Structure 1
């Protein structure tokens, strides 16, 4: 499924045009999921390179927290057991006009069956001081902000 990475640069303008027409403002969620050892959950998508916190878009009629729970279950096989804590809010204007991303901390969870088919290439747990070299810069910043107590940047 990594062929998606080759077509993504060509399909991105169409997807963004669809979102702008359909949504006006877009909202995404990302989950900073940690385990008992303090490791961070990251995923690799089939359509873009690098490691990211799991998450995705908030659909019409869906709360941000429900979107987060859905995305974590779909992408990473994580069932949220307690209300996630809003960590930070970011503008993603540099990548997608009128887009915002909410980052939530998730510490109470249990494993379940992931249901995404063809979207996720790999799922991994990483110590915060041993993150993969191919982690996205924004993901690295969000993890550092949350775990090191650094003020969060309003820009993604």
Structure 2
């Protein structure tokens, strides 16, 4: 059922918004770990984030999504890391990635119920085994010595 729901959402999004934009964040804690989420409707570990709504500034979408999914309230401006093509999901999808350093956020109760199955503070260079390819690549670019790519998870094959 989750796969059908995800496909229906993607189809609706393509029809409603021919170009889509998402935001994600590498949220860091004091120990240098990053916050990852596992959704109820799709497999894998992701950095928290989601879609930018029509007329919504990207930073407001990020702020909203972090409260919803992670219980993270921004208290400072995050660093924009990059702008990526996410065409393996569907054509003309893009993702803005931000880095939220420790000290620029506070805890708040998450507002999304039923969307997040599990959360973890992970070593950015040793994420959970089933972290998504895009998540692994972005963490390796930010925290390791991997060269930056214009693709979130790789060019569409």
- Residue 155 of structure 2 corresponds to none
Residue among 114, 117, 121 paired with 1:121: 117
| RMSD after superposition | 1.2
TM-score, reference length from structure 1: 0.91
Q: Larger helix proportion, structure 1 or 2?
A: 1
> Are 1:34 and 2:25 an aligned pair?
no
Runs of 4+ aligned residues of structure 1 deviating over 3 Å after TM superposition are none
TM-score, reference length from structure 2: 0.90
Structure 1: unaligned runs, 5 residues or longer: 1-6
Alignment of 1:1-156 (within 5 A): 7-107=1-101, 108-156=104-152
Count of paired positions: 150
- In 2: Cα distance, 1:23 partner to 1:152 partner: 27
Structure 2: unaligned runs, 5 residues or longer: 153-157
User: Deviation string for 1:5-39 (max 9, x for gaps)?
Assistant: xx232233322221122111100000110111100
CA contact (8 A) 2:73 2:107 kept: yes
How far apart are residue 149 of structure 1 and its match? Answer: 4.4
